[in-house]
């Protein structure tokens, strides 16, 4: 009922004014016309999809996407966080969708500590776990986002149990992937995400 009361024409004094009786107190309740409700929601969270549809019918929406231009600083080792974020988000948009792009807030905190160690911490503690959620632990797809400096292939042939299965041999040779220890990464590894870097 509260969602309905928030509609402009259901406010107190409006054409279709609506007043409800609160269930516990029995008090009459309506929403005044001068009340402005501003809220935020994460569109990637589909668990609230039914509520999302109900809200979208009643409110104006303004999309607030990532703003890489706010990352107007350089991290030690000539790393451009704006270019880094743009590249990661372009890849996420292709591999997932627009709702799964990473916000600039993940890197904005580095403005106060523009070190390679701080960047490694952000990747290890926030960005990589988020990508794991996005791709359900599929390290191959995470590699398509971050590159071979971050994810490497493990050639791990497994002798599967004797069992009559059509794909037994192929499954035993299926490649697996593992994350490189973030502490081992260099500034060149991060720059390789968004540009071709000469190792010399």
Residues 126-172 have pLDDT tens digits of: 999 999 999 987 888 999 999 999 998 876 666 777 788 887 777 76
Here the tokens at position 2 are 């509260």
Its pTM stands at 0.74
Residues 65-97 have pLDDT tens digits of: 899 999 999 999 999 999 999 999 999 999 999
d(CA 144, CA 175): 15
CA 39 to chain centre: 19
């Amino acid at each position: 009922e509260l969602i309905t009361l928030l509609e402009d024409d259901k406010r107190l004094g409006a054409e279709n004014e609506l007043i409800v009786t609160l269930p516990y107190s029995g008090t009459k309740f309506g929403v005044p016309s001068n009340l402005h409700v501003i809220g935020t929601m994460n569109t990637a969270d589909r668990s609230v999809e039914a509520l999302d549809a109900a809200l979208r019918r009643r409110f104006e929406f303004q999309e607030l996407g990532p703003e890489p231009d706010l990352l107007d600083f350089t991290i030690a080792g000539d790393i451009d966080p704006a270019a880094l974020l743009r590249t990661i988000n372009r890849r996420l948009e292709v591999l997932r969708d627009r709702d799964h792009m990473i916000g600039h807030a993940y890197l904005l905190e580095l403005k106060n500590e523009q070190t390679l160690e701080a960047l490694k911490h952000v990747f290890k503690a926030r960005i990589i776990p988020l990508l794991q959620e996005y791709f359900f632990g599929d390290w191959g797809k995470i590699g398509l986002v971050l590159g071979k400096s971050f994810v490497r292939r493990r050639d791990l042939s497994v002798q599967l149990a004797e069992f009559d299965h059509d794909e037994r041999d192929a499954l035993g040779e299926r490649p697996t992937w593992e994350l490189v220890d973030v502490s081992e990464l260099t500034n060149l590894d991060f720059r390789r995400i968004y540009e071709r870097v000469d190792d010399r």
